[in-house]
Chain A
């Protein structure tokens, strides 16, 4: 079965600093990978997805992620953190007979300090 591991349940950065949220996956087939963001008391919103096209994927709100097969990683980055980026971020991999069943990591809470 496919799985994802998010390193660090909490990450704290200063406003304007680089954001790096780590995700490693395990998959026996070419994976489709996703990053979702969850704001307090909200549902999950898609940030970006990798579906075997370009390895560097750009998403909303200035986020991007790079698929590295050799490292089985799909880390999320943003050059300059904004206060509004404070939220919980989830990495996910798709699996299942129909390929659209998502398996989520444990999540990383991002705190942005002023």
Chain B
């Protein structure tokens, strides 16, 4: 398997523009996570899905952020409008959530998308 695939790897955009980050999880995984990494705040969980359903979006900073998972093999994170403070590395991760806690696999991370908003 190619692992978790994120695109683009780098994105530079102007303030106010819409930005869409994409993620393809590992085939067969049923949990997907979006994280944001910054120097100031470290790794923050933004949202996670189980079986394509958003379970916890309490980490989404504000209404400008939205995430979707239309099917088991694709997810997007959208920022509209973007602001300079959104500049960060955004990671997507996937895992297999088993029916019993403890049987889950670990989270596998993509390479990340480095977003710069100028």
Interface size on B, residues (CB 8 A): 24
User: Nearest Cβ in chain B — how far from A95, in angstroms?
Assistant: 10
- A99 in contact with B101 given A43-B4, A43-B112, A106-B42 (CB within 8 Å): yes
Q: Which residue of B lies closest to A48 (CB)?
A: B106
Residues of B contacting A74 with CB < 8 Å?
none
Residues of B contacting A98 with CB < 8 Å?
31, 50, 55, 97, 101
B12 close to chain A: CB less than 8 A: no
A83 close to chain B: CB less than 8 A: no
Residues of B contacting A102 with CB < 8 Å?
33, 45, 107
List CB contacts (< 8 Å) of B86-115 with chain A. Answer: 91, 93, 95, 97, 101-102, 104, 106-112
A49 close to chain B: CB less than 8 A: yes
A68 close to chain B: CB less than 8 A: no
Instruction: Establish whether residues B109 and A44, one from each chain, have CB atoms under 8 Å apart when the complex forms.
Output: yes
List CB contacts (< 8 Å) of A30-45 with chain B. Answer: 32, 34, 36, 41-45
Total inter-chain residue pairs, C-beta < 8 Å: 62
Instruction: Establish whether residues B111 and A96, one from each chain, have CB atoms under 8 Å apart when the complex forms.
Output: no
Residues of A contacting B95 with CB < 8 Å?
100
Interface size on A, residues (CB 8 A): 26
Nearest 8 CB-CB pairs, A to B? Answer: A43-B109, A99-B101, A104-B43, A44-B109, A46-B106, A100-B104, A106-B42, A100-B97
Can you list 25 residue pairs at the A/B interface with Cβ under 8 Å?
A32-B102, A41-B111, A43-B91, A43-B93, A43-B109, A44-B93, A44-B107, A90-B43, A96-B48, A97-B56, A98-B50, A99-B102, A99-B104, A100-B95, A100-B104, A101-B45, A101-B48, A101-B55, A102-B33, A102-B45, A102-B107, A103-B45, A104-B43, A106-B42, A107-B42
Residues in B lying within 8 Å of A, measured CB to CB: 4, 31, 33, 42-43, 45, 48, 50, 55-56, 91, 93, 95, 97, 101-102, 104, 106-112
